[in-house]
Structure 1
Amino acid sequence: MTGEFSWAPDGPNAVIHGDNLPVLRSLPDASFQLIYLDPPFNTGRKQLRQTTKSVRSESGTRIGFKGQTYETVRGVVTSYDDAFEDYWEFLEPRLEEAWRLLDATGTLYLHLDYREVHYAKVLLDALFGRECFLNEIIWAYDYGARSKSRWPSKHDTILVYVKDPRRYHFDSEEVDREPYMAPGLVTPEKVARGKLPTDVWWHTIVSPNGHEKTGYPTQKPLGILRRVIAASSRPGDWVLDFFGGSGTTGAAAMSLGRRFVLVDQNPEAIATMRRRFADADVAFYAG
């Protein structure tokens, strides 16, 4: 580690080892053009009962789904799931900080799976405002176990919210293009160029034997992060990921000429990022 972390617009790319909430609270407002988050998916939550009970709050300060206050939304979703309550008690203040830290033209990408994404949509509508919702991206892949008792789950969801729906940055021309699924229906010129991605991204996971593999269990593909960063930031912009994991956000940002701050409290994640950035200009700090 190189000492105490203090962010500056002209500072180095940084990895911070520690609890992300105090780190976030130490950062100045509107410092980041792009925030990508891949938090724990809460796969071990235990459902206690199926019904819900709506409890309205007269003291609510944010308007959420169907005009209810944000306190009401949380009351509904936590009434049947204790583990879920713990999860959102953890994540909600960090998402509030994410909103504060976004530049006026900035974008948040929140990466979850089917277990929590529907609740996250309600929460982010309350935090950001429904008018700030930009996209629901489906990342579809084809790898892993096959269920025979239901349709196999083979996708993640990335919710995309902007700080200001009138000013946000998005440049589709900068993203990688995809092959046409029916190339015979378009001109050879279009086939050669490829088509712009839609909100459904077909992309393989990180291969267990591929060159990208770091050994970190929740590593995401570099191609997914490159697409996110290319579309929603400019060269020289700052990118933040406070569930840094294997460091893919930093690797993609660096390859595209962006600057980054990554935070993680898992020593294994920090060790993985140290190996990954061993030859790069990245400063490591204790949070």
Structure 2
Amino acid sequence: MTEPAWTPGGSNLVVHADNAAYLPTLPDGAFTMIYVDPPFNTGRAQRRQQLSMVRNADGTGDRVGFKGMSYSTVKGMLASYDDAFEDYWDFLAPRLAEAWRLLAEDGTLYLHLDYREVHYAKVMLDSLFGRECFLNEIIWAYDYGARAKRKWPAKHDNILVYVKDPARYHFNSAEVDREPYMAPGLVTAEKAALGKLPTDVWWHTIVSPTGREKTGYPTQKPEGLLRRAVAASSREGDWVLDFFAGSGTLGAVAGKLGRRFVCVDQNPQAVEIMRRRLAPYCEPAGRSSA
């Protein structure tokens, strides 16, 4: 398999490769922003069955919909990946070291994990980047899924944000989408109309199972979440990187915001999804090396 060559003036890339092998082929300091959403080390396979409904005119379908219409359920692609590692940190640490190398001097890393490993990751990144390079821990809060009865239900992910150089990193709050004030009557009408800058707690729904964003890929992240990070930590024309790209949400957001992207994944299902999703932003020669 021949990997596509990255050049500063080249096209956006979707790369079908093991990131451990591909990342060393990229030059130092090439990316203004890197977003990493690795497997969470849950110890189980992640699966999501994609279903579609086909209207059945003769009424013999297995589901009844709006106004009593009959539908048949059609099972689509079952996407899955291995989310159990005997030594998770031996797997992740060298890839995070590559992320540090690949960041520009004004660059920012967003590492997306959950409560299982985020505290270990914080110590690791303090060592790799330096504690002074820690910028934020973002809490992505959502309200969806099962409710545990014997503990507080876990309804958030953690995103650690580190910068390459704390004196030079790029951050433009003016580009970030604003949120409504919870008590608009306590601020001026002008402020209420403008909205407030988000804090380090981001309330955002997951990708709707029936929404237009849905690709069928497990653990797909919503575009709104990535849009906020890309807008704040990169400029139009900058290069951004995701080397656990999955369904390609970073690439989709980057394309819409005028950034250039490299998305890397070794899962053939992920690459096929990205080929379709990111085709409007990729020249034919840069879509994939598969």
* Short-chain TM bin: 0.7 to 0.9
AA matched with 1:25? P
The superposition leaves residues 173-198 of structure 1 with CA deviations (integer Å, 9 ceiling, x where unpaired) of 11000011111111111111100000
Residues of 2 paired with 1:105 and 1:115: CA distance?
A: 30
Residues of 1 paired with 2:188 and 2:41: CA distance?
A: 46
What's 1:276 paired with?
277
What's 1:74 paired with?
none
In 1, are the aligned partners of 2:275 and 2:288 still within 8 Å (CA)?
A: no
AA matched with 2:149? K
Deviation at 1:284, TM superposition (A): 2.3
Q: CA RMSD in A?
A: 1.4
Residues of 2 paired with 1:111 and 1:238: CA distance?
A: 19
Deviation at 1:286, TM superposition (A): 2.5
Residues of 1 paired with 2:3 and 2:207: CA distance?
A: 33
What's 1:254 paired with?
255
What's 2:40 paired with?
41
In 1, are the aligned partners of 2:43 and 2:85 still within 8 Å (CA)?
A: no
Residues of 2 paired with 1:133 and 1:277: CA distance?
A: 31
The aligned runs of 1:19-98 (5 Å cut-off) are: 19-44=18-43, 86-98=87-99
What's 2:65 paired with?
none
The aligned runs of 1:106-121 (5 Å cut-off) are: 106-121=107-122
Residues of 2 paired with 1:277 and 1:128: CA distance?
A: 31
TM-score normalised per structure 2: 0.83
Deviation at 1:275, TM superposition (A): 1.6
Deviation at 1:85, TM superposition (A): 5.8
What's 1:67 paired with?
none
Deviation at 1:209, TM superposition (A): 0.5
Q: More displaced, 143-152 or 275-284? A: 275-284
Residues of 1 paired with 2:127 and 2:16: CA distance?
A: 30
The superposition leaves residues 84-108 of structure 1 with CA deviations (integer Å, 9 ceiling, x where unpaired) of 7611111100000000000000000
AA matched with 1:251? A
The answer to whether the aligner puts 1:162 opposite 2:153 as a matched pair is no
What's 2:147 paired with?
146
State, as a whole percentage, how many aligned pairs show the same letter.
74
3-state DSSP of counterpart to 2:34: strand
AA matched with 2:206? I
AA matched with 2:38? P
In 1, are the aligned partners of 2:138 and 2:200 still within 8 Å (CA)?
A: yes
What's 2:227 paired with?
226
3-state DSSP of counterpart to 1:34: strand
AA matched with 1:284? R
Residues of 1 paired with 2:16 and 2:3: CA distance?
A: 11
Deviation at 1:278, TM superposition (A): 3.2
The superposition leaves residues 30-55 of structure 1 with CA deviations (integer Å, 9 ceiling, x where unpaired) of 0000000000000018xxxxxxxxxx
Structure of larger gyration radius: 2
Deviation at 1:285, TM superposition (A): 3.0
3-state DSSP of counterpart to 2:87: helix
What's 1:177 paired with?
178
TM-score normalised per structure 1: 0.84
3-state DSSP of counterpart to 2:279: coil
Residues of 2 paired with 1:279 and 1:236: CA distance?
A: 16
Residues of 2 paired with 1:235 and 1:284: CA distance?
A: 21
**Structure 1: tracts of 5 or more residues without a match:** 46-82
3-state DSSP of counterpart to 1:179: coil
> What is the count of residue pairs matched by the alignment?
249
In 1, are the aligned partners of 2:3 and 2:15 still within 8 Å (CA)?
A: no
Residues of 2 paired with 1:4 and 1:198: CA distance?
A: 40
What's 1:64 paired with?
none
What's 2:5 paired with?
6
What's 2:138 paired with?
137
In 1, are the aligned partners of 2:235 and 2:259 still within 8 Å (CA)?
A: yes
In 1, are the aligned partners of 2:12 and 2:281 still within 8 Å (CA)?
A: no
Residues of 1 paired with 2:118 and 2:235: CA distance?
A: 28
The superposition leaves residues 1-53 of structure 1 with CA deviations (integer Å, 9 ceiling, x where unpaired) of 9x5311100000000001001110000000000000000000018xxxxxxxx
What's 1:60 paired with?
none
The answer to whether the aligner puts 1:285 opposite 2:285 as a matched pair is no
The answer to whether the aligner puts 1:200 opposite 2:201 as a matched pair is yes
What's 1:16 paired with?
15
More strand by share: 2
| Moved >4 Å (runs of 4+) | none
